[in-house]
Amino acid sequence: MLRVPETRDNDAPVAEERKVLVCTWLCCLLAVESQLAGCAFQQEAAPIGSSWQPPPEAVAQPPGLPQIGKWMLNAQYEPAHWLGELYGVKHLREPINIVIVDTTAQSAQEARRRLLTNFAAAGYTARKGHTTGYRGYIEGMVYEQLPDGKEEAFSNEPFELGNNHGRMFGPHPYPGGWLFIGAFSREKVDLLDKVRHRYVSFNQARDDLSQRVDTRTDYRIKDYLDLDNALIGDPAATSGDHDSVAVLMTTARP
């Protein structure tokens, strides 16, 4: 008859130790697998939400350029509503009104660096005091905002003062270079008002930024694109004073 060895009390710690070692090994293995899976997304200029597609009416097709989303998007991929403010009785939707093509940069990293440098030279540095988490759509890809610092946007003045501010999205690679899109607006500030930041204009901010960039950097105004994103007659939403025009800037040729 086969005898089963009896388990002695002093064997319990050994068995328990083996269980701990096995559990520790499994946890380490899972952690390594998790890190390896995460590395697949740590690519240069890695876009987010690449499987998401906006409805056809929310996309513009400028001649010679990739498809462009008409609106800046919030974290839920919905058209961004300017600080939740009502313009009259309508929601104020934020249009894309700046398009930049960099034909000089040799990589996405260089294109981002040049954008930051050129905007700073034009007086639009990354400043605190603004909402963040916005996104932009370009040809099947969704890009997070630049600048990417906490509570930062490109702005020509501190947030305590009236200012032009906005965000850029990209860079998106295509045969003509690296493409950025952006949404800029002007706000006024009244520290005595219950709502301290009030919308003023999309067109004023667009024109000021593009003129400064054109005269102070190697980006030059090339054209004016009709993105068909001025809301007229919509019962619930408006694009304020926006006229459907986005300023197209490209790298100046030497």
Q: Burial of 90 by CB count in 10 Å (0-12 exposed, 13-18 middle, 19+ buried)?
A: middle
The three-point CA angle 206-228-96 to 5° equals 35
Taking only the tens place, the pLDDT of each residue in 130-180 is 888 999 999 999 999 999 989 899 999 988 888 999 999 999 999 989 999
Going from N- to C-terminal start, the domains of the chain cover 56-251
- Run of H or E residues at 199: strand 197-201
The pLDDT tens digits for 54-92 are: 999 999 999 999 999 999 999 999 999 977 677 778 999
Please give the residue that has the higher pLDDT: either 16 or 246. 246
CA–CA separation, 199 vs 92, rounded Å?
A: 9
